[in-house]
Structure formats: C-alpha cells, structure tokens
Amino acid sequence: MSTVVLIGAQWGDEGKGKVTDFLAEKADLVVRYQGGNNAGHTVVVGDREFKLHLIPSGILYPGKICIIGSGVVIDPEVLIKELESLQRRGINTENLRISQRAHVIFPYHRLLDQVEEGRKGENKIGTTCRGIGPAYMDKSARVGIRMVDLVDREVFAGLLERNMEGKNHLLTKVYDSDALDLNSVLGAYASYAETLKKYLADVSIIINDATKQGKNVLFEGAQGTLLDLDHGTYPYVTSSHPTAGAACLGAGIGPTRIDRVIGVAKAYTTRVGEGPFPTELNDDVGTFIQNRGGEFGTTTGRPRRCGWFDGVVGRYAVRINGLDYLAITKLDVLSGLEKVKICTSYRYRGELMEEFPASLRVLKECVPVYEELPGWQEDVSGARSLEDLPSAARKYLERIEEISGAPIALVGVGSRRSQTILTASLYA
C-alpha cells in the first residue's frame, strides 16, 4: 500500500491535473485537501477534454472513491454544475464523498472578494474572485458555515441570517455596495443542500480505513508551494496551504500515514495574478512559451506570465514539502529554442543568494543568475523513455534534478496520458 501526496512546486498551474490523472489510474482513493474552485485541472482522456475545479480527477476512472476533504472550501453551485456536466458526459459520480467539515462559499464571499480587490486598486492580489479568501477568513474567524451545517435545517437558516446581517452591513456601509437578499440566498442554498447531502461523509474515517487496508491513496494538492499562505510569496498567495503538510490537516489523517511526496513543476515557470516573479520573461521567448504552452488560465482565462525554470524555487519546494521526487511537465513546449536557461541562484545587491527570501522587497530586487544550456530542435512529444529524448533535453533534466535537489520520477511531453516518461515508481 502507498499514500502519495502530489503538490505544485511553483506558483500553481504546473500540470498537476495530468500527473494526478496518471497516478489516479492505480489509486483506490483520490483526495482533494485544500483550496476550492480557484483551482482548475485540465485532463485529456482519449480525445475528450475535461476541466475540473473541485472534483478530484479520479472521478474519470470507474470505481475510484473521490473525496473532497475538510480543508477545501466548497461553492455548492459550482460543485453541482461540475457534477451535472460530468453526468451529462456519461461519468458516474456516485463515488464522490464530501467532508461534513468542509466550509461553504456563499455569494457574499464572492462579492467581498471582488470589492476588496477593487478597493486595493494597484495593490490588488489578482485573486480569482471566487470568494476563496473571504471563506477562509470566516473559517478562521469561527463564523464559517460547514457542509454539515448547510444540510441541517435546524441550524442553517439561523447561521446564515446571523452571517448575512454582518456581511450586508460590511458591503453597504464599508464598500458602498448593494446588500444581498437573505431569502434568495436561503432558498438557493436549501436546494443545493438537498442535492449534495447524499455525498456527505466523515471522510477522515474512509481515508484512515483505506490506509489500514493497504489501499493506494492519492492526495491531490491544488495551486502551488509559492501560493501557500505560510510559505508562499505573501501577501500574493492564496488563503489555504497548497504544501504537502496540509494534506494531513485537510484530509484528517496523521503524518505517519504519508509514504511519498511528489512535486510537480513545469519545465519552465508560470504565474497568474500579481506578485514578484524573478525569472519572468517579457520578451519573445516569454511569448513563445506562452503560445506554445497554451498558458492561459483554466479558471479565469487570464494569460499566464512565463519565465525560465527557477532552481531557487525548486530547492525551496523540495525543502518545504520534503519532496521525494519531482515530476516535470511540458518539456515539449521548449523544443525549438536555441538556448535554454535555468536560474541557479539570485543576486541581491551584489551578493549571491542560494535560498528563497521571505521578504518581498528583497525578492523584487533579486536578479536571477542563469546557467545557459543548448536547446533542442526535435519534437519530443513522441518520447516514451529518457533514451528517446535528444541529449540536450536529457542534460536539461539532469541539471534540474541537481540544482533542485530531488530526482525526477516523471516527465510530461504532451497533454495526453500516454505522453509521459516514467523514470521511477510513483507509489512506494
């Protein structure tokens, strides 16, 4: 048996959906443990493309139990649309289980996310405006409403009334925005509760039992290490913990239950939203990568900022998550470049810096120090083993391993499941 935590090792959008989907084939359980519908996974199965925001991609395989853990914030309207869209395409969703303890996103969370971003103006975070931050704020402030409360007729209306009174005050008096109507929110959410209640469970029991029975469990992280509330480029982060440690909290298991941690990184770097990005390329190479890699957000459609692979970020992700392996995606995108570069350290006010700094002011001033390697012209999308790759591409991967400090277990060379090079066993 083996439990694997799969996380993003950069700023999100590393292609985790494809690697998760690949791993899900052998998993008995697939668990989402943090974030919400700010995430977006594109999974290609045969000639069908699926875009998933909340439901673990294991749902695409018959018989897998898919779990939304207590660390996730759930927009029920979005979840129901996602369920219906899968069902319309013939996917069986009966194996979905939702934690009773997961918190619920309400329309006031979405609205507060938008008006707060508007108020910040130039200093905005560039959130997905899905209400994620405000929902986690309510959770921490101990006024959040959980799935178990949503489906409980005896408590839900009272909790919502109490919350909406406060939120409407905030919206109208502080943000000069319109108030929301209690009865329409109450009606809509009562109907969502009816649809979703059959999926609710104490998921910690299901996951712990599975580990005891020797089943394969995959914990699927959303976003990436540098968007982590504690360890990311604060305040340009999300409001949850995309790092590996959060799998325990967000699923309801202990650290002794985790066997392996794998970090997914693109063969280059991308970022959406605001915030410093040392290896960003504002030139033709950046545009080449953006177009070749289709670097436009799954959730918001925003163009992603693109840059070279950052080995300082790689080392940081290896340390913060205790990575056993890296999975490198989208190697095929770099074919055709004359030279490729890897950032090995930063230069800050004349001094070399090997480790990722905590201060954003310092990070903004960091200049990447690059190692330049020969590029490769060949199309690598048909490669199925390392030997199939041009030697320059192999050398590039070797340097990523050496600079980041973790071996590579998987290389993605295209969006299809089959376009994968496996170099180590992913389940322990």
Binding site for ligand IMP (CB under 6 A): 12-13, 38-40, 125-128, 130, 132-133, 222-223, 227, 236, 238-239, 272-273
Cβ at position 272, least distance to ligand IMP in Å? 4
Least CB distance to ligand IMP at residue 290 (A): 15
Question: 47: how many CB neighbours lie within 10 A of its CB?
Answer: 6
Contacts of 137 (CB under 8 A, 6+ apart): 239
Toward ligand IMP, which CB reaches closer, 13 or 149?
13
41 part of the active site: yes
Please identify, using beta-carbon distances, which residue of 100 and 223 lies nearer to ligand IMP: 223
- For residues 6 and 222, which CB has a smaller minimum distance to ligand IMP in the complex? 222
Q: Is 241 known to be catalytic?
A: no
**From CA 40, how far away is CA 297, in angstroms rounded?**
8
**Residue of 21, 41, 113, 241 marked active site:** 41
Alpha helices in 42-181 (DSSP H): 76-88, 107-120, 132-140, 147-150, 153-169
Which CB atom, from 27 or from 227, has the smaller least distance to ligand IMP? 227
Minimum CB distance to ligand IMP smaller for 35 or for 245? 35
8 Å CB contact between 55 and 66? yes
> Cα separations (Å) of 331 from 124, 188, 292, 396?
32, 45, 11, 10
Report which of 200, 199, 238, 207 is spatially closest to residue 31, judged by C-alpha positions.
207
408 vs 393: CA distance, rounded Å = 13
Report the C-alpha gap between 359 and 341 in whole angstroms.
25
- Cβ contact 242:34 at 8 Å: yes
CB of 152 to ligand IMP, least distance (A): 28
Q: Which is nearer to ligand IMP, 222 or 366 (CB)?
A: 222
Read off the DSSP letter of residue 170. Answer: I
Residue 405: count of CB within 10 angstroms of its CB: 14
The Cα–Cα gap between 83 and 64 comes to 15
Strands 408-412 and 325-329: parallel
Q: Residue with CB nearest ligand IMP?
A: 273
- Give the DSSP letter of residue 173: I
**Residues designated as active site:** 13, 41
